[in-house]
Amino acid sequence: MVRYYKLMDNNGLVVVCAAAYFLFSSKKPKVCLDLENFKEFKFVKKTQLSHNVAKFRFELPTPTSVLGLPIGHHISYRGKDSQGEEVIKLYTPTTLDSDVGID
């Protein structure tokens, strides 16, 4: 004889579906980086930490934007040197993805 057991009533199913919807559809912060192209960011401040180490601050596009770079990775930034020549340097961000609006 086959027995069928009711695991959940309709109200429980609605609660589970609603919880899944909110869990998977919650807004994630907007990631700023583009792996294929350079993007412009407003330079805010440079803090010299030692003779060869500096901390650069850049404004992200919106107050809720995050950089979107995993911990331990670096980015390339492009600019011009004092002679007007284009240079590309590496920069290791010190912020987390929970830090929004500025790096």
Residues placed in the known binding site for FAD:
91
Q: How far is CA 84 from the centre of its chain?
A: 31
**Range list of β-strands (E), 1-103:** 42-50, 53-59, 75-80, 86-91
Query: How many residues does this entry show for the chain?
Result: 103
Q: Which two tokens stand for residue 62?
A: 């919106």
Q: Which residues carry a binding-site annotation? A: 91
CA distance 65 to 93: 15
CA distance 85 to 65: 31
